[in-house]
A and B are shown apart, each in its own frame.
Chain A
Amino acid sequence: MCLTSTISEEPLDASAPALSVRDVTKTFQTPEGGQISALDSVSLDIADGSFMVLLGPSGCGKTTLLRCIAGLESPDSGRIDLRGQRIDNMPVWRRRVNTVFQSYALFPHMTVAQNIAFGLQMDKVPGDIIKRKVGESLDMVHLSGLGSRKPSQLSGGQQQRVALARALAKEPEVLLLDEPLSALDLKLRRGMQSELKRLQRETSITFVLVTHDQDEAMAMGDQVAVFNDGRIVQVGEPREVYLRPCSRFVADFIGEANVLTGALDTYGLVIESVGFVPRDRLMPDTQAALGQVHVAVRPENVSLQLDPVGSAKIIDVSYVGGDMRVEAVAAASGTAVNAAVSIVSRVPSQGVQPPRIGDRVSVSFAEGSLTVVAD
């Protein structure tokens, strides 16, 4: 769903959302006396049993929204509803949401089992049930037998699992995860990503995860909400957000994108320095006003063919995994140097004669691959 378009393309879900955020605004005072707008009238619906990822650069407000949902911050205005019940004026300990903290925040003076039991004790759950649930939680995160350890005796990955088990043991309506994987090394992080997805499927608890890592967001989320400067700029399925970024920011932030400027008419698009692009290269249901537009296109949808009279010249070739990343500069003859446009293409490197730096190429785009973005 592009927030800039007026028509919602998503069918409305029949059931009420698990979590509904409406016009939430939060401003912080800086020590110097200035004001930072962490959340600027943010609205978001999170479907029951879904995995929502809040994605954005640091300082974009995603963590503030998570803390407002948890009750660790209170919004200046707006409302938050959990299954139709207003919670933004409720104290932290009464909300049926639990948080996995970035630092894990395990209780260092308690054993792993006591950590997990704590939340259940607060709910006055009988002792024998607590004992059973602690055992189940430990099994669920593959830490059976480590219940009597202190958190300091565990590895970072194990501490992470304890934090998860502790929050899930209370069977919250919504589980909030604040950059839970950022302290783990890459390999461990991959493992935990699929682990988290498995836990989410098995428990069918609604997960809301905050991250600044777009790969993580793409890999985990059913839905991704992209934040920038205290606003949500786009919400949608990872694939949709990737293929149809709403704005230049989203296109740049998620994956690599070529953002080009051109003039749109009924037949197609004339891109500066590149040339004419037929209308069918645009996304099929593009509804943009004619005139000057910005379009985004992913490198894998750009092809560069050797062409002695082509408009672009290759300036860099590198290998990324199994792919070849080719960068070219297009400059129409006669235009000033600063009108030159950089274009990146990405093709599988197998069985392809690698282009050489300095080769002249012509640029073309895959059908339905260009999407109009806001500047």
Chain B
Amino acid sequence: MTMDSMPTRGRKRRRNGGVGPGLRDFPTFKAVSYLVFVFLYLPLVVVVAYSFNSNRVVSVWRGFTFSWYSEVLGNDDIQRALFNSLRIGVVATIVSVVLATGLAIGLLTMARAGRTFAWTLIGAPLIIPEIVFAIGTLALFVQSRIPLGVNAITLAHIAFCVPFALLPIRARLRGVDPAVYEAAADLGAGEFTIFRRMTLPLLAPGIVAGALLAFIISLDDFIVSYFLAGPGGTTLPVYIFGMIRNAVTPGVNALSTLMLVASILIVSLSYLLARKRR
């Protein structure tokens, strides 16, 4: 497929993907779509709105304030939890992306039948219940006497971040004409040069998108982190869960809003990078 044929295909898809004229006569479905959006985003709106509520009682609005943000950001426990989350996230991201990149390229050299099986096996963690993975990891770590805490969480995060990091990398790898590598070899490049000057730059947008995805998955993870936290391994989501066990305070709302904003920023960045250079 040549590069210049792609915009044409995109246009065609949009034109045919639109709703046919017949379906425009069903206004009910429009209402349903609006309802879905309200249903999806109302909880988020509540969290964000009440994070600015000056009343200590969460559900009663009294006035606008930023004080919860300064209180949250000044809290030593929260800072520690945030530091844990970031440390786990960064390490898990780097390791899982390196593994995913190697895996994606390595699987290309496998025979077709084995490759399909391997892809299925790799993708399975995306759909198996996280609680099962969490219990399994906990049992494994306890039996093999791996101490719970930040390092245990990091290990587990690396494991479940790999399939997520793999998704955009694999998509990118599939989009590259294999003749490009042959052309590079034909022009005199050895294996390492091809990897450095063709494979890596061509995969780069996928690798960055995969890294951001892995980071967000690690940062947002609660179940696995909760099971493996142990003493001193409290991450931000685990801390927030602890906060609301007693009562939902506006501080929880402020913290949640901060996490929400961070997530949106990272996901948007990942999306933009994935779109770039298409």
Interface residues on B, range: 20 to 34
Interface pick from B54-62, B91-99, B117-125, B185-193: B185-193
Q: For the complex, is B9 an interface residue (Cβ under 8 Å from A)?
A: no
Is there an interface contact between B189 and A122, defined as CB atoms closer than 8 Å?
yes
Which residues on the B side are within 8 Å of A151 (C-beta)? Answer: 3
Q: For the complex, is B183 an interface residue (Cβ under 8 Å from A)?
A: yes
Is there an interface contact between A93 and B179, defined as CB atoms closer than 8 Å?
no
Q: How far is the CA of A122 from the CA of B184 in the complex (A)?
A: 9
A156-181 residues with Cβ-Cβ distance < 8 A to B are 156, 159, 166-167, 170
Q: For the complex, is A50 an interface residue (Cβ under 8 Å from B)?
A: no
Which residues on the B side are within 8 Å of A102 (C-beta)? Answer: 179
Closest to A31 in B: B112
Picked from A93, A98, A103, A108, the residue with its CB within 8 Å of the CB of B189 is: A93
Question: What 1/0 flags go to B59-96 for Cβ under 8 Å of A?
Answer: 00000000000000000000000000000000000000
Is there an interface contact between A109 and B2, defined as CB atoms closer than 8 Å?
no
Q: For the complex, is B11 an interface residue (Cβ under 8 Å from A)?
A: no
Picked from A31, A98, A154, the residue with its CB within 8 Å of the CB of B186 is: A98
Given A119-B187, A122-B188, are A107 and B2 neighbors across the interface (CB < 8 Å)?
Answer: no
Is there an interface contact between B2 and A170, defined as CB atoms closer than 8 Å?
no
Q: How far is the CA of A258 from the CA of B186 in the complex (A)?
A: 43
Is there an interface contact between A122 and B187, defined as CB atoms closer than 8 Å?
yes
Is there an interface contact between B202 and A98, defined as CB atoms closer than 8 Å?
no
Q: For the complex, is A286 an interface residue (Cβ under 8 Å from B)?
A: no
Picked from A71, A94, A107, A154, the residue with its CB within 8 Å of the CB of B183 is: A107
Given A108-B202, A109-B201, A109-B277, are A103 and B188 neighbors across the interface (CB < 8 Å)?
Answer: no
Apart from the given pairs A70-B186, A103-B177, 19 other A-B contacts in the complex at a CB distance below 8 Å? A92-B185, A93-B188, A98-B186, A101-B182, A104-B2, A106-B183, A108-B3, A109-B202, A109-B277, A118-B197, A119-B188, A122-B188, A123-B188, A154-B4, A155-B4, A159-B2, A166-B183, A166-B187, A183-B2
What are 18 A-B pairs with beta-carbon distances under 8 A? A93-B187, A102-B179, A103-B2, A105-B177, A105-B182, A105-B183, A106-B183, A107-B198, A108-B176, A109-B277, A119-B188, A122-B188, A122-B189, A152-B4, A155-B4, A159-B2, A170-B187, A170-B188
- Which of A's residues lie within 8 Å of B, judged by CB? 31, 70-72, 91-94, 98-99, 101-109, 118-119, 122-123, 151-152, 154-156, 159, 166-167, 170, 183
